Amino acid sequence: MSGILDSFSLEGKVAVITGASSGLGVSFATGLAEAGADIAICARRVEKLEETKAKVEAIGRRCVAVEADVTNPEDCARFVAEAVEKLGHVDVLINNAGLATAVPATREDPEEFRKVVDANLNGSFFMAQAFARNISENGGSIVNIGSVLGSTTAFLPQAAYGASKAAIIGLTRDLAQQWTARKKIRVNALAPGFFVSEMTDQYPDGYLDNMMIRVPAGRGGQHEELVAAAIFLASDASSYITGVLLPVDGGMLTT
């Protein structure tokens, strides 16, 4: 009989990961590959995607890399269809692709605001829609990547980003109540705190150090800590969990 640790394995599953050309997207791709999954990845930067693909294949897993823009529903459908064609099926979606800005609200350009919401919210929905249309009768798991900034602020002017990540919470809950019973798709979200990424590279000097006063753990997160939480939500270990927001933030939302 299988032990409890076996339920964390992604062996035999195919994980679809967006925004996998850099940062956390690369970590999700390699981490889920280490957990046993074959991987399908997409992003707009093709040359970076190939680097991620090579890392996944070095782990010994199959990988399909597709140039796609998640804000385009046709790209999302094409990406998932290619994953099914080349890898046989899809079981897990990590909705990681996104954008961030930090612009005072009175000066934020309307197109810039729309661009952030389009990537973070609309892109997550379009990908979830394409994934759900291709899921097998065995069902699957969607993990939306939200943010603690969907539930609090971090003293930067980030109306577009914060609004889009707050909307991810509502999207996660609604898709969970629509699809968990009908399509056997569990839908959950992670709310990362401070993790080094392309977004944090844009922060002012000293900002992250100053923000640690709000983090009981006293430090930023390591990519592996977020990936481990994603593997939990993607795997059968969380088979009775759906519609939740799981903060991975060192306790920031408690302060």
What are the tens digits of pLDDT across the range 143-166? 999 999 999 998 999 999 999 999
Rounded Cα distance, 22 and 163, in Å: 24
Query: Residue 1 pLDDT more than 70?
Result: no
Catalytic residue annotation: 161
Cβ-based burial of 4 (10 A; exposed 0-12, middle 13-18, buried ≥19): exposed
What mean pLDDT comes out for the span 183-210?
Answer: 88
Q: How confident is the model at residue 206 (pLDDT cuts 50, 70, 90)?
A: confident
What mean pLDDT comes out for the span 98-102?
Answer: 93
Of all helices (H) and strands (E), which one includes residue 247?
Answer: strand 245-248
Query: Residue 196 pLDDT more than 90?
Result: no
Lowest average pLDDT, out of 25-29, 94-98, 200-204, goes to: 200-204
CATH superfamily membership of 4-249: NAD(P)-binding Rossmann-like Domain (3.40.50.720)
Position with higher pLDDT, 195 vs 200? 195
User: Do residues 176 and 242 make contact, with C-beta atoms less than 8 angstroms apart?
Assistant: yes
Q: How confident is the model at residue 201 (pLDDT cuts 50, 70, 90)?
A: confident
Domain layout of the chain by residue ranges: 4-249
What mean pLDDT comes out for the span 38-42?
Answer: 98
Residues 52, 56, 57, 63, CA torsion sign: negative
Q: How confident is the model at residue 13 (pLDDT cuts 50, 70, 90)?
A: very high
Cβ-based burial of 207 (10 A; exposed 0-12, middle 13-18, buried ≥19): middle
**Residue 107 CB neighbours (<10 A):** 8
Q: Which residues have a Cβ under 8 Å from the Cβ of 133 and sit 6 or more positions away?
A: 77, 80
| Average pLDDT across the chain, whole number | 95
What mean pLDDT comes out for the span 203-216?
Answer: 89
Q: How confident is the model at residue 187 (pLDDT cuts 50, 70, 90)?
A: very high
What mean pLDDT comes out for the span 193-217?
Answer: 86
Residue of 233, 63, 58, 18 whose CA lies nearest to 140: 233
Q: Which residues have a Cβ under 8 Å from the Cβ of 170 and sit 6 or more positions away?
A: none
What mean pLDDT comes out for the span 179-200?
Answer: 92
User: Do residues 193 and 214 make contact, with C-beta atoms less than 8 angstroms apart?
Assistant: no
| Residue found under tokens 């009981």 | 216
Share of the chain above pLDDT 90, in %: 91
Query: Residue 141 pLDDT more than 60?
Result: yes
Please give the radius of gyration of the chain, using alpha carbons only, rounded to the nearest integer. Answer: 17
pLDDT of residue 2: 65
pTM of the model: 0.96
Query: Residue 216 pLDDT more than 90?
Result: yes
